[in-house]
Amino acid sequence: MTNVRKILVIGCGNSFRQDDGLGCSIAEQLTPTEFNNCVRVLVCQQLTPDLAVEMSNTDRVILIDATVDGTPGRVSVQKIEPTDQGKSILTHELQASTLLQCARVLYASNPDTYLVSVTGVSFGFGKDFSDAVQAAMPEVTRRIKHLITESHCSTEELVKMKSSSNP
C-alpha cells in the first residue's frame, strides 16, 4: 500500500553565476510524473519568506543549493530543524531553518526538511559549472530521488521502480 505524501523540491541559486546555478539546474531536470505527481518543483534565486506558505502545504521539503564551505564537489544532505536564530527574514541571508520556523509559527506546519548541497568552486558570471560540481550532479540527483521515494512509496513500489529502471 502506498503512503502518498506531498513533497516540495526547491532549487535555489543564480543560473548566471556558474556553480551557484546548481540547485536550479537539478530542480529543472526533475519530472514530477516520475513520482506519481506527488512532487512539486520550484526554482528560485533565493529563499524568501513567501515560501513558508508553500512549505506548510507539504509533508517533506527538499532544498537544493550550492555552498562555498567544504571540499569542492562534496555532496551533503542535512536535516533542517526550525529555528529563529537566523539574521532576518527579509534579507538575502534567509536560512532554511528560519524559513521552516516561519512555516511552523505562521501555519502550524513542520514538514520534514532536507538541504542537499554541493560545495562549489566557481561563482563568477557564466553558465558553465566547475568540473567538481559537474561531476557531483548525478550523486545530487540520486540523493534527491532517494529522499522523494523513501517518503511516499511502499517497499513493493520501490522494488518495482528499481526493476523497471534497469534494462
68-92, pLDDT tens digit by residue? 999 999 999 999 988 866 555 555 5
Region of 67 on the Ramachandran plot (φ > 0 left; ψ -120 to 50 alpha; else beta): beta
Structural domain of 22? 7-165
Q: How many domains does the chain have?
A: 1
pLDDT of residue 30: 86
Q: Is residue 2 part of a domain?
A: no
Dmax of the chain from CA atoms?
50
What is the domain-level CATH number for residue 150?
A: 3.40.50.1450
Q: Which residue has the higher pLDDT, 45 or 5?
A: 45
Q: Is residue 98 part of a domain?
A: yes
Q: Is residue 158 part of a domain?
A: yes
What's the average model confidence in pLDDT over 43-70?
A: 92
Q: Is residue 1 part of a domain?
A: no
Q: Is residue 115 part of a domain?
A: yes
pTM here?
0.83
Q: Is residue 114 part of a domain?
A: yes
